[in-house]
Amino acid sequence: MSKLVVMQGNEKVNPVAKGLSKSLANLHALYLLTQNCHWNITGIHFSALHTMLEDQYTELATAIDDTAERIKALDSYAPGSIKQYAGHLEIKEIHHQESTDIMLSYLVDGHTKVIDMLRRVLRDAESANDDGTVDFLGTRIASHEKILWMLKSSQGT
């Protein structure tokens, strides 16, 4: 269990849970971006990319749930609304039809940002001797790195 707790006003804040909450917001945004690309991808490699993106957003749904449960394991509130997420979002959105390569570049950028976020939380968890979160984050980071590799390998096809 994370032992690092700081005070903000009269409120105790666990920086690990706070970082996980920011990551949770961005995982939701990345899930929606991946679904958007899944629905709107076109071109000669449509079928393979459509299937790959479905696998990825399915995995992201699990990651979202696991992250929220990790926040709860740290005895913190797991945010779950657009309003709560709004100030924490770093994932760029696609608002109209884009080429396959542009869609994939948005996803590459999104996973890169999530990996960076998770690595920052990992450093906080290590400082707090929070072995459970360290283990959890190692698995999450590896998953995003694999997806990132797959997306980069699909660009320019």
Average pLDDT of 106-125?
98
Q: Does residue 134 belong to any structural domain of this protein?
A: yes
pLDDT digits (tens, 9 = 90+) for 6-29: 434 434 569 999 999 999 999 999
Q: Does residue 1 belong to any structural domain of this protein?
A: no
pLDDT digits (tens, 9 = 90+) for 40-68: 999 999 999 999 999 999 999 999 999 99
Q: Does residue 3 belong to any structural domain of this protein?
A: no
pLDDT digits (tens, 9 = 90+) for 133-154: 999 999 999 999 999 999 999 9
Domain that holds residue 73: 10-88+97-154
The predicted structure's pLDDT at residue 3: 54
CA 87 to chain centre: 15
Q: Does residue 102 belong to any structural domain of this protein?
A: yes
Report the percent of the chain where pLDDT is more than 90: 90
- Contact yes or no for 106/59 (Cβ under 8 A): no
- Contact yes or no for 114/27 (Cβ under 8 A): yes
The two tokens of residue 98 are 């884009």
If you average pLDDT over every residue of the chain, what do you get?
92
pLDDT digits (tens, 9 = 90+) for 65-88: 999 999 999 999 999 999 999 999
The predicted structure's pLDDT at residue 13: 62
Q: What is the CATH number of the domain that holds 82?
A: 1.20.1260.10
Q: Does residue 148 belong to any structural domain of this protein?
A: yes
Q: With the C-alpha atoms ordered 143, 149, 154, 155, is the resulting torsion angle positive or negative?
A: positive
